[in-house]
Amino acid sequence: MSNTLADILPSVAASFGMGGPDPLGLRPNRDVVMLLIDGLGAELLARHPEVAPTLTAHVTGTLTAGFPATTATSLTSLAIGAPCATHGIVGYSFAVPDADGPRLLNALRWSLDSATGPDAREAYPPETVQPHPSRLQDLAAHGVQVHYVVPEYQRGSGLTRASFRADGVLHPATTLDQVRAGILTAADHSDRQSRFVYAYFPDLDANGHLHGPESPPWLSVLGDIDRCVADLLTDLPATCTLLITGDHGMIRADAVIDLDTRPHLHHDVRLIGGEPRVRHVYLDRADALPDVLARWTGELSTHATIVSREQALDEHWFGPTPPGPIITGRIGDLVAVAQGNSVLVRPGLEPMESTLLGHHGARTSAEQLIPLITG
**What residue ranges do the domains of the chain occupy?**
5-88+130-250+365-374, 103-107+254-355
Q: Alpha-carbon distance 155 to 153, whole Å?
A: 6
Q: Does domain 5-88+130-250+365-374 fall into CATH 3.40.50.10540?
A: no
Whether the model clears a pTM of 0.85, i.e. scores above it, the answer is yes
User: DSSP labels for 125-169?
Assistant: -HHHHS-SPPHHHHHHHTTPEEEEES-GGGTT-HHHHHHT----E
User: 309-322 burial by CB neighbour count: b if 16+ within 10 A, else e?
Assistant: beebbeeebbbeee
Tens of each residue's pLDDT in the chain, 375 residues: 689 999 999 999 999 999 999 999 999 999 999 999 999 999 999 999 999 999 999 999 999 999 999 999 999 999 999 999 999 999 999 999 999 999 999 999 999 999 999 999 999 999 999 999 999 999 999 999 999 999 999 999 999 999 999 999 999 999 999 999 999 999 999 999 999 999 999 999 999 999 999 999 999 999 999 999 999 999 999 999 999 999 999 999 999 999 999 999 999 999 999 999 999 999 999 999 999 999 999 999 999 999 999 999 999 999 999 999 999 999 999 999 999 999 999 999 999 999 999 999 999 999 999 999 999
Q: What is the pLDDT of residues 42-65, one digit of tens each?
A: 999 999 999 999 999 999 999 999
| Cα atoms in the Cβ-side hemisphere of radius 13 Å centred on 199 | 33
Sign, Cα dihedral of 213, 218, 222, 228: negative
Q: Determine the CATH number of domain 103-107+254-355.
A: 3.30.1360.180
